[in-house]
A and B are shown apart, each in its own frame.
Chain A
Amino acid sequence: MISGLVVHFSEDESLTNAALIEIKAKANIDIGIQSERCLPIVVETDSIESSHKMTDWLFELEGVSHVDVTYVHLDE
């Protein structure tokens, strides 16, 4: 399952950088070109549940204020 997400970072730069490092460390996340405090990413998981978990994990990172789901592909 493939989702397109937009991660919104908080105003605190140190927290943002810490969050970025954690995100980059995930093998199943592709990182796009950051625009101001918004980072487009693509998450690939093997089930809907793990996709939800990944979104929740992102949401709970310090330095992430907000996550938008822009795209979901379900059929595999």
Chain B
Amino acid sequence: MQKSQSSRRDFIKSAAMASATAVAAGISDPSLPILSAAEVGDSGLEWNKAPCRFCGTGCHVQVGVQDGRVVAVAGDKNADVNKGLLCVKGYHVGAALYGEDRLTKPLLREGDSYVEISWDKAINIIADRIEGDPHKFAIYGSGQWTIPEGYAAQKFIKGGLSNNHIDPNARLCMASAVTGFLATYGVDEPAGCYDDLDECDVLIMWGNNPAEMHPVLFSRVIDRRSRGEEITLIDIGTRRTRTTTQCQHYLEMKGHGDLAIANGIAHLLIKNDTYNKEFVESFCNFKAPDSDNPNLHGKGISFDDYKVMLERYTPEYVEELSGVPADDIRMLGDLFGNPDIKITSLWCMGMNQHTRGTAINTLVHGIHLLSGHFGTPGDAPTSLTGQPSACGTVREVGTLAHTLSGGRVVANPEHRKHTEEYWNLPEGRINPVPGYHTVLMWEKFCTPSDQGGDIDTIWVQVTNPGQTLPNLNKLFNGKKELKEKFLIVSEVYPTATTVLADLILPSAMWVEKNGVFGNSERRTQQWFKMVDPPGDARDDTWQTIAVAHRLFERGVEGMKDKDGKFIFEVLDEQQKPVPIWQWENYYDTNVDKHLFEEYRQFTRLKHKDLAPYDEYVKERGLRWPVVQQEDGSWKETHFRFSEGYDPYVEPGKGMQFYHSSTKDDRAQIWFHPWEPPAEVPDEEYPLMMTTGRVLEHWHTGTMTRRIPELNRAMPAAYIEMNPEDAAAYEIRNGDLIRVESRRGVIELQAWVAGRGKPPVGTVFIPFFDETILVNDLTLDAIDPFSKQPDYKKCAVRISKV
């Protein structure tokens, strides 16, 4: 708006006069009416910190509690992770507690319905089932378990029952990330952290849609750009998403194209002689799969072998395999070959839910190592997690069927010995044979006992396998007809899993209990109970300890340590046991703190050191290893393996992979060949189907679909298709579509190029809707090393209903 100098001056003068006149005329008028000033300032509102209940980002929220109920949530400005911001789910996380149909009483199946029973009876029923055959009992847990919950379940089954049949849903979520880290660095979890997002010049998202799935992290990058920084964003994906629209480059690939692309980048780094020779010579070895003896650590190869193996992955050949133009492969090769820029890679389910998940994880680490884009702020291959404590409870506590706490495995006698010592158990208590991984556990559960189905009772805690297991008709629904099988579900709401449950236990959730989570960047986060759970809902940790104590009362040897004491004994200040197995005494002490302090001993072996519980009370989380300083304070670690950041790197080493699987402080650069997906479209099933989440819903929607603001925005699942496919099938928005795979059939509405836009020949269906179970269609093919299924690729056919 242009104004001449003098008219501008007049304008300002008139404004000045107006303000003075207004004040002169009405100086004593209160500006706005006060409705009820007395209430203001004495609201009884109390705020306290907690990590968000939803994804693995680990944002901290401030929870506002009034009259014993959560009434508000704010982003925590003092939190490093989110710096005061949240996504729409985070803002509404408080309402997740207040769905009207919260489970409040233990329920026992009687025919087709349920009867309310007492907790005492419920505990007895579980104890009976376990005593019936302790080795046919399994626990199916979750990356939403708090660290103490997972640790208690782990100790109960592996230490108490000498049974390793415990596996968490994280097997379906990030098992391939674990095997990728182990195969590359010899130790799990990312070396970098979210700080990389503040430093990188190039961000590559591999099959990742952080704009919807990890919005706070994605915003951290694109907000840098809107402040004027130059950042190149590259989306390598199988479907256009909200992430794509923010990216300068969108490389649309066919399923499994990522294997070819990573090999193409490595090929170009070598061909153009732009790989980082010094880094590779000082810090890396080369590996390839061992076809004679397939194992996670493969076989060592020479650099020359490696070059030969990559020979055929020219940009043109990669284009043929992946569908990504050769010039875009060259662009990626040039970026990785440029030592002056900082490159961060992000991935989550796209690379993990993959029948070659371990392979693609190692390949992406490999190109970062080969090019030297590793170990300094902004140069990092970083895997994200989908659940709030997939890292903390699954990977660190070690609640997988083959692991023990602190990076140990059941198959290693030394590791069993440490564990027995920390738990004060007699030697030999821990079973050396790994238990069943998720897919096998449910397959055994759904197989009749007389046909080798040797799991007869599963206790599910904090997750919803009836919706998330792949190929549900095989791995879950089969239970319905098997009367000898017994399903126990600890839950907060009725779910697709409780539909088949024989015993339903009402649980406390989030700030209704104490808790500790571990997020994607090695950050351990603590919170306190702020409100009471509804009705008779109780903490999962208490449930586990109560069952353990009932078995102890019945004289089950496993529930005693080698001195005959209860394995979960907690002493008060007078050294008297606190009866924490009785609910009325459970909060007489902080059970979380006792379990955490016990668990903490395990964390030193793999240099994942945790600080004492009380340190976490003070902080918005700390990233391990957290090492005590000379002045007694505790210091977190931002970047691992890198001198100057990681206290465990010896001075002068520069970079030290001190848990190297080759025991020479080196990381492994892997070659893996491209292989096709387990199922590809054919004449009978001509479309590729992929699954995933949407911004508004988290996991199976059991919480977010009960939050009005979120559910109104995204009420039900839909099938998303390309407009060309829609035209070919004469499908319009809102049409009801039948989708069939070789494993099942579902019907749902079409949304042509809806939230995202798949390429021609691909359809997308989100998995949050409990009445439209996309996992009736998905494939149960798994990665050979991680045992993680591939939810992202299966063949379907569609028709209008």
Contact = CB atoms under 8 A, between A and B. Distances in A.
A71 B24 contact: no
Contact of A6 (B12, B13, B24): B24
A68 to B, nearest CB: 6
A23 interface: no
A73 B16 contact: yes
The winner among A32, A39, A70 for most chain B CB atoms within 10 A is A70
Interface stretch (A14-22, A40-48, A53-61): A40-48
Contacts of A35: 21, 24-25
Interface residues of A, number: 20
Query: In terms of DSSP, what is the predominant structure of the interface of chain B?
Result: helix
Interface residues of B, number: 15
Contact of A70 (B12, B13, B20): B20
A34 B13 contact: no
A2 interface: yes
B20 A41 contact: yes
Interface string B9-33: 1001101111111111101000000
Given A2-B9, A2-B13, A44-B13, A70 B25 contact: no
A71 B21 contact: no
Given A2-B9, A2-B12, A73-B12, A30 B24 contact: no
Contacts of A33: 21
A42 B24 contact: no
B24 A34 contact: yes
B158 to A, nearest CB: 71
A3 interface: yes
B20 to A, nearest CB: 3
Interface in B240-269: none
Nearest to A75: B12
A56 to B, nearest CB: 18
Contacts of B19: 4, 70-71
B621 to A, nearest CB: 44
A58 to B, nearest CB: 12
Contacts of B18: 4
Given A6-B20, A70-B19, A38 B25 contact: yes
B27 A40 contact: no
Contact of A42 (B17, B22, B27): B17
A40 B13 contact: no
B19 to A, nearest CB: 4
Contact of A32 (B9, B15, B20, B27): B20
A36 to B, nearest CB: 8
A73 B12 CA distance: 7
B25 A71 contact: no
A33 B23 CA distance: 12
A8 to B, nearest CB: 9
A14 to B, nearest CB: 21
Contacts of A5: 20
B27 A38 contact: yes
B23 A42 contact: no
A30 B20 CA distance: 11
20 contacts: A2-B12, A5-B20, A6-B27, A30-B17, A32-B21, A33-B21, A35-B21, A38-B23, A38-B24, A38-B25, A40-B20, A40-B24, A42-B13, A42-B16, A42-B17, A68-B20, A68-B27, A70-B23, A71-B16, A71-B20
Which 5 A/B pairs are nearest by Cβ-Cβ distance? A4-B16, A40-B20, A38-B24, A4-B20, A71-B19
